[in-house]
């Protein structure tokens, strides 16, 4: 005797196959009818809220599982905080600053991260800040391909829940002074709770070095190079999630003045904290490496020979290494100057990159020129 199942299956299968297309038609009709209220004021029913939260958490966990967290040093924190204050606090608020009501009324709400960051692992925080979240208003990192930069923000987010307000505020302000504005200034200039639009939050001044060795030294850099760098950030030819938003907010007619200012600025020297073989670095700088077809760095970087080439002597080792690794990974190659340097950087070994970064960080601009003149 044959089982009744195949016969029943044969009877119901055609109807079962109709369910998915019928579902799609009903869904399209519901969407088309306008019955769904998408107003942010309408909120989500509790079941939908839980469903979306589950989907988000699982998606972030799955997609961030391959992220490898490198050792994150505390020098990243001031840069992470300065960026957070300029680009994230507007939606998320910050220690000592509640979420602005305009952004608090987004749906989903941007949560205060000093409370929420502890719900995520460091790799997940990195992934969230790098990739953003679809359909929520949470943006992706604005420097395309600059995942290396996002670690400064992940380092900050990880510390944020245990950071007190004054520590956060000191980091966020960097070298900028926090004076309480006079009433007439408030009336005229508005209320910059912090001076978010200033370069001093990150870069050096006449009195202080840059807030972190991950921020380049600008004081005394060539004017032509500074101007070109600002233009390239502005038009998205040079990618950086830190600098592109700052440069986009500037006006073309201000760029030359800023380049003049930094070219003339006598910024104090930062003692180098970067380790590498100084002798190997010196040889590369002065003589290159014939085996690898690497020309001496100072044949192009020996200022004042070529004004459009940056000065490396006295620059931070962390920054020099980061840029050389960026070229090795195929970044910073959109301009003719960038491509010129890519050919050199891609021939260096990792040990040579460390060595030459440590060497240039250890000398002053004057030492660099003197050594070049006395070179064989």
Cβ atoms of 255 and 230 within 8 Å: the answer is: yes
Q: Which is nearer to ligand HEC, 5 or 171 (CB)?
A: 171
The yes or no reply on residue 92 touching ligand HEC (CB under 6 A) is yes
Cβ atoms of 264 and 348 within 8 Å: the answer is: no
The yes or no reply on residue 125 touching ligand HEC (CB under 6 A) is yes
Q: Which is nearer to ligand HEC, 77 or 88 (CB)?
A: 88
In this chain, which of 72, 77, 91, 163 binds ligand HEC, going by CB under 6 A?
91
Sign of CA dihedral 172, 178, 184, 185: negative
The CA distance from 204 to 268, in Å, is: 8
| Alpha-carbon distance values, 140 to 57, 78, 131, 326, 375 (Å) | 17, 21, 4, 20, 48
The size of the chain, in residues, is 376
Taking the mean position of all CA atoms in its chain, how far away is CA 329? 16
The yes or no reply on residue 300 touching ligand HEC (CB under 6 A) is yes
In this chain, which of 203, 234, 282, 354 binds ligand HEC, going by CB under 6 A?
203
The yes or no reply on residue 110 touching ligand HEC (CB under 6 A) is yes
Residue appearing with tokens 């970064």: 357
CB of 333 to ligand HEC, least distance (A): 8
In this chain, which of 155, 246, 286, 313 binds ligand HEC, going by CB under 6 A?
246
In this chain, which of 72, 163, 324, 369 binds ligand HEC, going by CB under 6 A?
324
Angle at 313 (CA atoms; ends 309, 314), nearest 5 degrees: 125
The yes or no reply on residue 108 touching ligand HEC (CB under 6 A) is yes
Selection from 335, 314, 331, 313 nearest residue 323 by Cα: 331
- The stretch among 6-14, 33-41, 90-98, 186-194 that binds ligand HEC (CB under 6 A) is 90-98
Angle at 245 (CA atoms; ends 239, 251), nearest 5 degrees: 110
41 CB neighbour count, 10 Å cutoff: 7
The yes or no reply on residue 283 touching ligand HEC (CB under 6 A) is no
- The stretch among 9-17, 30-38, 62-70, 135-143 that binds ligand HEC (CB under 6 A) is 135-143
Provide the phi-psi class of 283: left if phi over 0, else alpha when psi is between -120 and 50, else beta: alpha
Question: Which residues lie near ligand HEC (CB under 6 A)?
Answer: 56, 79, 82-83, 86-88, 90-92, 103, 106, 108, 110-111, 113, 116, 119, 125, 128-129, 133, 136-139, 153, 157, 199, 201-203, 215-216, 218, 226, 229-230, 240, 242-243, 246, 250, 258, 284, 294-295, 297, 299-301, 309-310, 312, 320, 323-324, 332, 335, 337-338, 340-341, 344, 348, 356
């Amino acid at each position: 005797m044959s089982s009744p199942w195949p016969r029943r299956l044969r009877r119901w299968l055609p109807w079962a196959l109709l369910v998915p297309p019928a579902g799609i038609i009903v869904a399209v009709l519901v969407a088309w009818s306008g019955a769904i209220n998408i107003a942010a004021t309408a909120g989500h029913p509790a079941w939908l809220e839980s469903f979306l939260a589950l989907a988000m958490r699982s998606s972030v966990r799955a997609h961030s599982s391959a992220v490898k967290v490198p050792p994150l040093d505390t020098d990243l924190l001031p840069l992470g905080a300065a960026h957070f204050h300029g680009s994230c606090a507007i939606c998320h608020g910050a220690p000592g600053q509640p979420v602005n009501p305009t952004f608090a009324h987004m749906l989903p709400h941007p949560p205060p991260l000093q409370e929420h960051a502890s719900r995520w692992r460091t790799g997940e925080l990195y992934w969230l800040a790098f990739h953003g979240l679809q359909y929520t208003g949470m943006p992706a990192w604005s420097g395309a391909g600059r995942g290396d930069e996002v670690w400064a923000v992940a380092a900050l987010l990880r510390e944020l829940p245990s950071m007190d307000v004054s520590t956060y505020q000191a980091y966020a302000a960097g070298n900028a002074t926090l004076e309480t504005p006079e009433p007439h200034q408030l009336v005229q200039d508005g209320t910059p709770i912090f001076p978010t639009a200033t370069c001093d939050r990150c870069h050096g001044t006449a009195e202080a070095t840059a807030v972190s060795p991950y921020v380049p030294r600008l004081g005394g850099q060539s004017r032509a190079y500074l101007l070109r760098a600002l233009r390239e950030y502005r038009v998205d030819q040079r990618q950086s999630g830190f600098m592109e938003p700052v440069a986009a907010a500037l006006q073309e007619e201000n760029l030359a003045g800023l380049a003049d200012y930094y070219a003339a600025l006598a910024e104090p020297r930062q003692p180098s904290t970067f380790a590498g073989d100084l002798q190997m670095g010196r040889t590369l700088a002065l003589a290159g490496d014939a085996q690898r077809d690497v020309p001496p760095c100072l044949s192009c970087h020996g200022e004042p020979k070529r004004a459009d080439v940056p000065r490396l002597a006295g620059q931070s080792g962390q920054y020099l290494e980061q840029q050389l690794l960026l070229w090795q990974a195929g970044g910073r190659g959109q301009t003719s100057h960038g491509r010129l340097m890519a050919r050199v950087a891609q021939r260096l070994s990792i040990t040579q990159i460390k060595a030459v970064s440590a060497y240039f960080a250890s000398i002053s601009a004057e030492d660099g020129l003197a050594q070049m003149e006395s070179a064989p």
